[in-house]
């Protein structure tokens, strides 16, 4: 219920940051200006007693986020991939949010598995370990199947996680509504739409049947990708709150020391992480949207293994082409074309100046073009990008939120593996390959063929569609036609035929 009672929840958020000591740490990490610091401390300090205590053994920011709940932990997971934004120390502290949270008991997990699968655990698994990894929504146990002896991973949702998430999201909706009403400048960011999008993503995570389906689709798309593996989903041992998949042996991609000791080339891994994400987003329009270090391993042969498919992103063909053209324009340093693409796609209001926007984009691209990541301040870059979006009235595109979020996370993971990675040179071959296949003469021929297929499929229905449209038009114009001469009736009749044809072809186009 999105009522005023959420005011207490929001106050408690600030109070928790104050009580755990995280307020000052977070303000320092984001280099907050003095007025914001004064405001935050003024609002937080009087209500400090309302804040959650959290686990005193944890660092302040981690302690506050874990105490507040799963939705806040999700935010912390994103920040853990950006040491260039929050600092190396805080990023390292937040890394525990990826898969090292306090677990629930093995007995609770077993009881939940038995309820979901409808039989005793001993009849399914000959071994069932204590939790080996625990995140905000679920935890993982290592097990062995009775029938085949195969080693598997069993993912089990946290008890009561649905209620906890809904409680957090409820407060977020309330905060977004307040921002909508009392902060007109924030409306272009569409806070309600953003929270609604977040809510939809989270609800998908809370049904492991959907995650299993996502993993299956992702596996079908990427089966030919060299150096990339996905664990197999075992549908017979999966349900809404339990998922069983093949065990993936490998080193955590966030453990640089272990990767070095095993002889893996971290620079190559960084390039592959970034290239794989771009390939999946552009080629397939379907990508892993939660690619932080806790969801990837490196196999002994150097393959990258991805898992945890609760959050997947999808972008349509048109958006992929826009995205590719923007990236390609930056790579070629053609800022005028990048600006034009933004206007053509409707990302920038038509009443703004395209040349002025191109110059703003040049100010974004030139300082970082050709530079390795160690010389790029992502914090300052994101700050300037926000200024540009505000200046040109750019609204939040909810369909791009997952893509943009994943880009930030993946670039952070790549940077953590190789601080000197050149993102432009890494992206170039993937983007150029997509451009050749999807934008140009070959793409035109492909589009025409797709259109012909649609026409052929719905061709037999065209006469009936036209007839239905003509009949409908005839009924609407009967009364007017009766009052006109025979000569004046011809014009609306022909117009009706034209409308009928347009309706028919529109119906064909949209299926």
Q: Which of 290, 353, 372, 433 is catalytic?
A: 290
The two most distant CA atoms of the chain are separated, in Å, by 92
The pair of structure tokens assigned to 461 is 């229905």
DSSP states of 184-213 as a string? GGGGGG-HHHHHHHHHHHHHHHT-HHHHHH
DSSP symbol at 282: I
**Whole-angstrom distance, CA of residue 265 vs CA of residue 259:** 8
| CA angle in degrees (0–180, nearest 5) for 401-402-405 | 85
In this structure, is the dihedral angle defined by the CA atoms of residues 342, 348, 350 and 351, taken in order, positive or negative? negative
DSSP symbol at 129: E
**Whole-angstrom distance, CA of residue 130 vs CA of residue 77:** 24
**Whole-angstrom distance, CA of residue 432 vs CA of residue 141:** 42
The pair of structure tokens assigned to 22 is 């995280």
147 is catalytic: no
Specify whether the backbone of 54 is left (phi greater than 0), alpha (psi in -120 to 50) or beta: left
Q: Are 246 and 287 in contact (CB under 8 A)?
A: no
Site of tokens 């949209």: 510
Cβ contacts of 423 within 8 Å, gap of 6 or more: 274, 373, 411, 414
DSSP symbol at 477: H
Cβ contacts of 171 within 8 Å, gap of 6 or more: 6, 9, 10, 13
Question: Which residue in 25, 24, 23 sits closest to 86, CA to CA?
Answer: 25
244 SS3 class: strand
**Whole-angstrom distance, CA of residue 388 vs CA of residue 355:** 14
Question: Which residue in 378, 382, 451 sits closest to 415, CA to CA?
Answer: 378
**Cα first-last separation, the chain:** 39
Q: Are strands 296-298 and 304-306 parallel, antiparallel or unpaired?
A: antiparallel
**Whole-angstrom distance, CA of residue 342 vs CA of residue 322:** 8
Q: What DSSP element (H or E) covers 141?
A: strand 138-145
For residue 126, CA distances in Å to 142, 150, 233 come to 11, 10, 19
Site of tokens 């939705």: 71
Residues tagged active-site: 290
């Amino acid at each position: 219920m999105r009522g005023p009672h959420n005011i207490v929840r929001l106050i408690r958020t600030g109070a928790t940051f104050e009580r755990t000591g995280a307020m000052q740490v977070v303000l320092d990490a984001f280099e907050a200006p003095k007025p914001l610091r004064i405001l935050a401390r003024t609002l937080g300090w009087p209500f400090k007693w309302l804040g959650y205590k959290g686990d005193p053994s944890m660092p302040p920011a981690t302690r506050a986020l874990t105490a507040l709940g799963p939705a806040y932990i999700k935010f912390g997971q994103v920040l853990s991939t950006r040491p260039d934004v929050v600092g190396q120390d805080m990023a390292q502290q937040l890394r525990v949010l990826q898969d090292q949270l306090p677990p629930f008991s093995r007995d609770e997990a077993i009881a939940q598995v038995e309820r979901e699968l409808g039989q005793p655990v001993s009849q399914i698994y000959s071994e069932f370990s204590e939790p080996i990894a625990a995140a905000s929504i679920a935890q993982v146990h290592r097990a062995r199947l009775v029938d085949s002896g195969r080693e598997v991973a069993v993912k089990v949702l946290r008890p009561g996680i649905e209620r906890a998430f809904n409680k957090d999201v409820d407060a977020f909706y309330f905060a977004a509504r307040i921002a909508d009403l009392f902060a007109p400048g924030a409306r272009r960011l569409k806070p309600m739409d953003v929270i609604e999008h977040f809510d939809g993503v989270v609800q998908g995570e809370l049904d492991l049947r959907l995650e299993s389906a996502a993993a299956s689709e992702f596996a079908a798309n990427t089966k030919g990708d060299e150096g990339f593996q996905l664990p197999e989903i075992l549908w017979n041992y999966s349900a809404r709150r339990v998922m069983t998949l093949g065990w993936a042996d490998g080193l955590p991609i966030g453990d640089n020391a272990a990767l070095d000791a095993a002889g893996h080339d971290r620079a190559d891994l960084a390039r592959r992480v970034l290239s794989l994400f771009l390939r999946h987003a552009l080629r397939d329009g379907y990508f892993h949207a939660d690619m932080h270090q806790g969801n990837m391993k490196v196999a002994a042969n150097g393959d990258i293994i991805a898992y945890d498919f609760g959050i997947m992103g999808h972008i349509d063909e048109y958006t992929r082409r826009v995205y590719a053209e923007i990236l390609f324009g930056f790579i070629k340093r053609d800022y005028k074309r990048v600006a034009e693409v933004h206007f053509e796609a409707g990302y920038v209001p038509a009443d703004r100046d395209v040349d002025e926007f191109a110059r703003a984009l040049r100010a974004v691209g030139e300082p970082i073009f050709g530079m390795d990541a160690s010389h790029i301040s992502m914090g300052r870059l994101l700050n300037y990008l926000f200024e540009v979006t505000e200046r040109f009235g750019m609204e939040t595109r909810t369909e791009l939120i997952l893509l943009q979020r994943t880009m930030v996370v993946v670039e952070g993971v790549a940077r953590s593996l190789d601080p000197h990675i050149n993102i432009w040179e890494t992206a170039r071959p993937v983007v150029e390959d997509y451009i050749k296949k999807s934008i140009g003469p070959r793409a035109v021929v492909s589009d025409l063929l797709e259109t012909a297929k649609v026409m052929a499929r719905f061709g037999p229905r065209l006469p009936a569609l036209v007839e239905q449209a003509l009949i409908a038009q005839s009924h609407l114009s009967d009364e007017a036609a009766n009052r006109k001469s025979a000569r004046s009736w011809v014009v609306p009749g022909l117009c009706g035929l034209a409308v009928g044809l347009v309706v028919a072809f529109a119906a064909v186009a949209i299926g």
